[in-house]
Amino acid sequence: MTQEMGKPIAGAITEVEKCAFVCEYYADNAENFLAPEIIQTDASISKVLYQPLGIVLAVMPWNFPLWQVFRFAAPALMAGNAALLKHASNVCGSALAIENIFCEAGFPADIFRTLLIGSTKVARVIENPLVKAVTLTGSTPAGRAVAAKAGKMLKKTVLELGGSDPYIVLADADIEHAVQNCVTSRLINSGQSCIAAKRFIVEKSVSKSFTEKFVANMKSKRCGDPLDETTEIGPQARKDLRDDLHKQVQSSLDKGARLLLGGKVPEGPGAYYPATVLADVVPGMPAYDEELFGPVAAIITAEDEDEAIRIANDTVFGLGAAVFTANHKHGEKIASEQLNAGACFVNCLVKSDPRLPFGGIGDSGYGRELGHHGIKEFVNIKTVYVA
């Protein structure tokens, strides 16, 4: 992963460990999750069975080359399906390594296969009658294209797409704690994460304090060689992606955003981009409206809690969201009832966990991975009724 897309090696090690966790979780729990359910009706016997669909095609991105595959493959294979992986073209080594892992683990031959094909060939694979369902993690445009093709073929899809996760910092929040979590989330995988914090919405009364501490924390992070275990920000995965990110930053500045840190493409080799902080971000700017897939933070000041929640929900995305407050019960109420996203966290950063369902709404996709919900996405939920 580090060699192919520049992931800092410490994060790569953590990713491998998380893949082991999801495999162990489904090895321990899949049988119970898929056990027949007896339902009391007028029948002598009525039950629900969970049976595999067949071959599931996974179209996966480069940013978490192992985790995003294993979080699909572990439940899908434990449910009795077979899997085809079309990985991003810049992580072919990771794709082949995953196939080899399943072979070494003792899975039946050909139960998991990697397809070394370009994106233009995906439609033909979806058309194949042996493929029964499709899952995609990636951009919203890619999700629309795959869903349209699969829909035409009447095949089930699960989509985990982009995000512009809002983190609300209320006036009573522990600012030091909030800053630490916000910076950590924004810089996960050098900022290249769908569920990384993107928009930081801060109540006006604590905006100055939060901003000063946030900028200082971002500035302290070490950018460098991803093979160095002390590196906290590695290069972006490709230079074209780095350049696109810079255009979004520059466009936001041209429209009135204020640059507090970074924002300049460094000289020298590698697709590096510095930790960057923008303030005075408003609608109409890429930093407000779009997903910035890199180490760029947008700070937005809200007059009060109600405005902060309105701004948080003012997005086409709906993957994750977080709120920081000293009142845990109040934070739980906001997360439960007022934030529009697939995963809402209180006083910590948004993260995926094998034990909990993961996925989004709106332009962030549909369906769920992980937990007992995830393993039931690619099964035939069959009713059996005996009079």
Rounded distance, CA 80 to CA 293, Å? 35
pLDDT of residue 109: 86
Residue 316, C-beta contacts closer than 8 angstroms, at least 6 positions apart: 362, 363
Q: Are 190 and 235 in contact (CB under 8 A)?
A: yes
Q: In this predicted structure, what is the pLDDT of residue 23?
A: 98
Give the pairing type, strands 45-52 and 379-386: antiparallel
Active site annotation includes 31: no
CB atoms within 10 A of CB 268: 5
Q: What is the CATH code of the structural domain delimited by 2-161+360-386? A: 3.40.605.10
Measure the N-to-C terminal CA separation of the chain; round to a whole number of Å. Answer: 55
194 classed as catalytic: yes
Neighbours of 101 (CB within 10 A): 17
Q: Per the residue annotation, which of 15, 23, 99, 160 is the catalytic one? A: 160
Instruction: Identify the sign of the CA torsion 311, 313, 318, 322.
Output: positive
Going from the first residue of the chain to its last (387 residues), give the mean pLDDT of each consecutive group of 10, the final group possibly shorter. 98 98 98 98 98 98 98 98 98 98 94 97 98 98 98 98 97 98 98 97 98 98 97 98 98 98 96 98 98 98 98 98 98 98 98 98 98 98 98
Overall fold of domain 165-346 = Aldehyde Dehydrogenase; Chain A, domain 2 (3.40.309)
Catalytic residue among 19, 23, 182, 194: 194
| 112-116-122-127 Cα dihedral, nearest 10 degrees | -50
Taking the domains of the chain in order of start, what are their residue ranges?
2-161+360-386, 165-346
